[in-house]
Amino acid sequence: MVRRIVIGFVVAALAAACDRFDMVGLVAPASADVEARVGESISMFEASGPRVLTAPANGYRMYICTDIHTDEYPHRFEAFVRSMRSDGQAVGGLLLGDIANRKGSLGIAAAVADTTAATGNGAPLMAIVGNHDLFFGQWDDFKRYFGSSTYCFTVSTPGFSDLYIMLDSGGGCHGRRQMDWLKTLLRRRGDYRHCVVCTHVNLFRTDLSQFVSGNLPLEETYQLMELLSENGVSLVLQGHDHHREDVVFGGVRYLTLDCLKDGTDNASYLVLEVGDRLLCDFKEQ
Amino acid sequence: MVRKRASIVLSVLAFLLPAAQAQRLSLDLRTTAGHNYAQGGYASVGALGCYRPDSAVAVRFGVQCGTGAVMAYTADWTAAMRLGSVKLQLVSKGLWRRFAGWHIDEFSGLVAIGIGWRGWDVHVGLASRMMADSRTAWLDERTGWLSEPFNLMYELRYKAWFGTRRRWLGELAVANYDDFVIDRAYQPLFSCSAGWLVSEKVELAARAVLHPTGMLSLSANYYEAWFNIQMILKW
């Protein structure tokens, strides 16, 4: 009996000492729950006003990466940011969550994004939260470093305007409030040439790479799929799984990106060539 | 006309079934009310008929319809054998859910093995799922369907009978599948049930279920809760 208590104590102590997997966060909300986070995000977004990026031509590039899982200094992420800011056709970059890999590392990635902000084209980097960014109550850190996680922005070109919608799925669902917000936003879909939706958690489990990773509840997945199909969304960008997947369902293309974590074999990021069509160019690392 | 036909069918069943399949048939009638982030508040009614040709095999067919135009049809088959006090089980289950409002047909199949001992039941298995867009000819077009071939399924259940005549039942369970649900690996359903054996032919039960999301793999969050009451009639 005493031995069992000692073993239990040691296991609990080791679990509590882990700064990568929040044992509490795995079974109970470690940050504010999705409805509270979305409420805060929408308030921040509404307070900051609509964000419009301007492209000098109808064709431009958007740089997208995900799952950088920052432990120490994120070298691949730095290379991504430098490439984006040295590309004359790039208007911005998107970081689709799982920025942190341990407690307190969100600030390291934010600093990397900031150090090159004044160089090159000065393209902004916009992020959404992933599940690892919510562990250890890091939602407050995310807000401080990256701001809202439910928002949209437009890219204005001489002839067209494109809509980008960023969603928070770090807690394994989008929640009622965010889905209502998305529904309202998509009513204006007709005003835009392309509509791109970004969320951290991949919607489908089509192969074995997803065996160990979690997804959204099925009903919410179906509700989201219908909303995206019904409104003619051009592209859905996702992360979380660390393995690339490209599927089309109901007229919508769902693209899951590789990770951009240092030390992994399948790291890449996406350069989205936006013109009359959306062309995907993956840059292997 | 419909009422007349229904009463004829019920009369024939009432006359034939008790004689032909004494103690081999049961009918589980249930009503459910719940809340989730996708549908908001919802309600459903369902029925599950069970046939036991012998003590080792059970076959069930069920249908459930709910608000939000969600229909579910299920069929499952369980075979059991005893090794002393241990019960070994093999379960297979098929489920078709139609989400008419979202134009999705979902077809799922599950195979699981189980072991039971002193009120404990543990099942582990694999499930596959196909999602089809009901607006397109999904058999002809790649874009009209998707498959999820590998889903780990699990069930851990403990039940105990109480009372001098063992007429009260309490049950705690965690599983990612249920009578009308075959969910994904990290979508556990935590349930707590109570049952009352009113007589040998009638049983009443109530069940509360909590469905969090993001557990163990993502970051945990509330997603759904439901409550149902059941009346089980046995012949």
For A44-56, what is the mean pLDDT?
94
| End-to-end CA gap in chain B | 28
Q: Per-residue DSSP letters for B8-40? A: HHHHHHHHHHHHHTTTTEEEEEEEEEEEETTTE
Q: How confident is the model at residue A91 (pLDDT cuts 50, 70, 90)?
A: very high
Angle at B59 between CA B54 and CA B60, to 5 degrees: 140
Q: What is the pLDDT of residue B134?
A: 86
Q: What is the pLDDT of residue B120?
A: 96
Coil vs helix vs strand at B55: coil
Contact A250 B215 (CB under 8 A): no
* Domain extent listing, chain B: 24-234
Say which of B152, B183, B222 has its CB closest to residue A218: B183
Question: Which of the residue ranges A11-20, A206-215, B29-38, B220-229 would you say has the lowest mean pLDDT?
Answer: A11-20
pLDDT tops 70 at residue A250: yes
Testing the interface with B: which of A142, A176, A218, A243 to mutate, by most B Cβ within 10 A? A218
Testing the interface with B: which of A174, A182, A215 to mutate, by most B Cβ within 10 A? A215
**Cα–Cα distance between B214 and A99 in angstroms, integer?**
18
What backbone torsions phi and psi does residue A243 show, to the nearest 5 degrees? -130, 135
Question: Which of the residue ranges A10-14, B30-34, B196-200 would you say has the lowest mean pLDDT?
Answer: A10-14
pLDDT tops 80 at residue B215: no
Contact A25 B219 (CB under 8 A): yes
For A148-173, what is the mean pLDDT?
96
Contact B148 A204 (CB under 8 A): yes
| End-to-end CA gap in chain A | 52
Per residue in A57-85, pLDDT tens? 999 999 999 999 998 899 999 999 999 99
The interface predicted TM-score of the complex, written ipTM, equals 0.86
For B211-222, what is the mean pLDDT?
80
Helix A175-186 and helix A34-48, axial crossing angle in degrees, nearest 10? 40
**Cα–Cα distance between A115 and A111 in angstroms, integer?**
6
Say which of B38, B144, B147 has its CB closest to residue A220: B38
Strand partners, B37: none
For B133-142, what is the mean pLDDT?
68
Residues of chain A with CATH 3.60.21.10: 31-284
**Touching A: B residues 69-108, CB under 8 Å:** 99, 101-104, 106
Q: Is B135 on the interface with A (CB under 8 A)?
A: yes
Domain A31-284, CATH among 3.20.20.80, 3.60.21.10, 3.40.50.2000, 3.40.720.10: 3.60.21.10
Kindly report each contact of residues A267-273 with a partner whose C-beta sits within 8 Å and lies 24 or more positions away, as own/partner: A267/A76, A268/A244, A269/A63, A269/A64, A269/A65, A269/A80, A270/A63, A270/A64, A270/A65, A270/A237, A271/A61, A271/A62, A271/A63, A271/A64, A271/A87, A272/A61, A272/A62, A272/A63, A272/A64, A272/A196, A272/A235, A273/A59, A273/A61
CATH code of B24-234, in short, is 2.40.160.40
**Cα–Cα distance between A126 and B164 in angstroms, integer?**
65
pLDDT tops 90 at residue B137: no
Testing the interface with A: which of B135, B221, B222, B224 to mutate, by most A Cβ within 10 A? B221
Q: How confident is the model at residue A145 (pLDDT cuts 50, 70, 90)?
A: very high
Q: How confident is the model at residue B126 (pLDDT cuts 50, 70, 90)?
A: very high
Chain A closest-CA separation from residue B92 CA (Å):
21
Q: How confident is the model at residue B211 (pLDDT cuts 50, 70, 90)?
A: very high
Are β-strands A252-256 and A235-238 bridged in parallel, bridged antiparallel, or unpaired?
A: parallel
